[in-house]
Amino acid sequence: MALLFPGQGSQQVGMGQALAAAYPVARRTFEEANDVLGYDLARLCFEGPHEQLMSTEHCQPAVLTNSVAAWRVAREHGIEGHLTMGHSLGEYGALVACGSLSFESALRLVQARVASTSDVVAQRPGSMAALLGASDEDIEALCLEAGDVWPANYNCPGQIVASGLSRGVERLIDLAHARGIKARLLDVDGAFHSTVMAPAAERLREALAGVKLNTPSLPFLSATSAAVERGERLKVILAQQLTAPVRFTQSVRTALDLGVDRFVEFGNRRVLVGLVRRIRPGVEAVNLGDPSDLPALLELAGRPS
């Protein structure tokens, strides 16, 4: 069983509220985040306002906290898993779940990640676009033709997100439409997972230098390299993550090759569950974001409810 942690974009007002009401370990997770961050993240997740939760500054620690809270609930019910994975930001939750990072360290690193990327966004505005129904090779060729834009997320077959400077993304969308490829601009203000973020990656390396990594209890499969990573190499991966594409399709296939046949996503919106099922139709995959999700997870894990 693979433990999956979603990234930015999976946030929604109300997330974690029912789990925190039902399970003390989830409530304590949000309280811990409040203490580390210095503001009431729990209230923002539970009640909004929507615009504030959607900002990069708040949504990244919110998604991390919500995922860790759900994972801790699952762990209390005997769900251990055999490896951990994450999509972009979700790799921080995956590193908490495998034991390599403490939750506090992960929160502080995410704060540093937000600060470093925000500075780049202010200096070099960029954007991202989702392209649907085309092959990886076709999108890679279109990006080369457009210029100033690169593949950023290999989410599943037929779904790629590209990232780059605004002019490059605009050219890419025009080229895609001319070739009959569906393309739409995403509601983000930065060229994430592209070379534009190189200065942010350098700043994040400085923050990572002082972080303690623990001996993991589970393998961590990185969606940056699509390989199992460990030790000091994790710091390299987390910095590279800002400029490298998310190879989620490839990492899921690696997990399947390693013998994984079940996936559980810790979040409300079933984002990664949907992608996994498109990568391998028929595979068993569930999410945990609400107490009502727990029976299906326990059944998947073969544990009594």
The bridge status of strand 159-165 relative to strand 126-132 is antiparallel
Q: Tokens 């923050």 label which residue?
A: 207
Closest C-alpha to 256, from 237, 290, 280, 273: 280
The distance in angstroms from the start CA to the end CA of the chain is 18
Catalytic entry in 10, 67, 88, 116: 88
Neighbours of 177 (CB within 10 A): 11
How would residue 305 be classed by pLDDT, with cut points 50, 70 and 90?
low
How would residue 188 be classed by pLDDT, with cut points 50, 70 and 90?
confident
Strand pairing partners for 151?
162
Overall pTM surpassing 0.85 (yes/no): yes
CA 15, distance to chain mean position in Å, is 16
Residues in contact with 40: Cβ distance below 8 Å, sequence separation at least 6, in sequence order: 34
Neighbours of 43 (CB within 10 A): 12
Which residue spans within the chain are E strands per DSSP?
A: 2-5, 83-86, 126-132, 149-156, 159-165, 182-185, 220-222, 227-229, 262-265, 284-287
pLDDT value at 303 more than 80? no
Report angle CA 61, 106, 265 to the nearest 5 degrees.
Answer: 70
* Residue type at 269 in one-letter notation: R
Domains and CATH numbers, the chain: 2-121+195-301 (3.40.366.10), 125-185 (3.30.70.250)
DSSP 280-302: STT-EEEE-SSGGGHHHHHHHHT
Q: Is 88 a catalytic residue?
A: yes
- Highest mean pLDDT among 119-123, 185-189, 300-304 belongs to 119-123
How would residue 125 be classed by pLDDT, with cut points 50, 70 and 90?
confident
Q: Is 58 a catalytic residue?
A: no
Catalytic entry in 87, 163, 193, 222: 193
How would residue 64 be classed by pLDDT, with cut points 50, 70 and 90?
very high
Summarize pLDDT for 200-246 with one digit per residue, the tens: 999 999 999 999 999 899 999 999 999 999 999 999 999 999 999 99
Summarize pLDDT for 26-52 with one digit per residue, the tens: 999 999 999 999 999 999 999 999 999
